[in-house]
Chain A
Amino acid sequence: AQSVSQHNHHVILSEAASLELGCNYSYGGTVNLFWYVQYPGQHLQLLLKYFSGDPLVKGIKGFEAEFIKSKFSFNLRKPSVQWSDTAEYFCAVNAYSSASKIIFGSGTRLSIRP
């Protein structure tokens, strides 16, 4: 069965610090990978996605993620966080051969100290 693990439940950083949120997935076949963000009081928004090609993908708001197939990982990074990045971040996988359901990780709450 497919699963997604996010190892950090809550991360607290100061503004301008660098961010890396870990994500590992479990699935033996071809996958599509996503990071979604949920700002306080708002709905899930797609931050970035990986389908194929360059394993380093860039998303909105300066975020990027690197797909490392050998490690089954898709970590999210940002070189310098801002207070407005305070949100819940969800890693997710969509198995290419499935009927398209998205499997989500448990989420990482990011708090930025101004």
Chain B
Amino acid sequence: EPEVTQTPSHQVTQMGQEVILRCVPISNHLYFYWYRQILGQKVEFLVSFYNNEISEKSEIFDDQFSVERPDGSNFTLKIRSTKLEDSAMYFCASSADRDGHEQYFGPGTRLTVT
């Protein structure tokens, strides 16, 4: 069964550093998403992406965040200058249809900012 994959599984970085989290969505999917889950809190929507453009973003997704689909398979989330409060589990998801009725989630990348 096709799966969404994410790398790395765990990233440790120092405050102020840039990080790039990588995702490989399911191959025939066209809609891509990033969510995050701070330890002990709920999963929160960050951004959705389609046709090389951001479709929607949340208040969390400020100028420090960016997304890109650099090639036909990868979908990346970049945090330019990490803060302690960026420490969280970041989930990538992909969907075949516009309304995101069924989003398939990756295993997540645990980001630890020290």
The yes or no verdict on A and B being binding partners is: yes
Mark A residues whose CB is within 8 Å of B: 32, 36, 42-46, 49, 51, 90, 92, 94, 96, 98-107
Inter-subunit contact B45/A101 (CB<8 Å): yes
Residue B106 CB within 8 A of the other chain: yes
- B100: which of A42, A45, A101 is its contact (CB, 8 Å)? A101
In the complex where A100-B31, A101-B48, A103-B45 touch, is A44 in contact with B91 (Cβ < 8 A)?
A: yes
Inter-subunit contact A99/B43 (CB<8 Å): no
Residues of chain B within 8 A of A104, CB atoms compared: 35, 42-44
Chain A residue nearest to B103 in the complex (CB): A102
Chain B interface residue bracket vs A: 20 to 34
Residue B68 CB within 8 A of the other chain: no
Mark B residues whose CB is within 8 Å of A: 31, 33, 35, 41-45, 48, 55-56, 58, 91, 95, 98-108
Docked pose: A102 CA to B55 CA in angstroms: 13
Residues of chain B within 8 A of A107, CB atoms compared: 42-43
Inter-subunit contact B108/A94 (CB<8 Å): no
A68 CB to nearest chain B CB (Å) = 21
Inter-subunit contact A94/B99 (CB<8 Å): yes
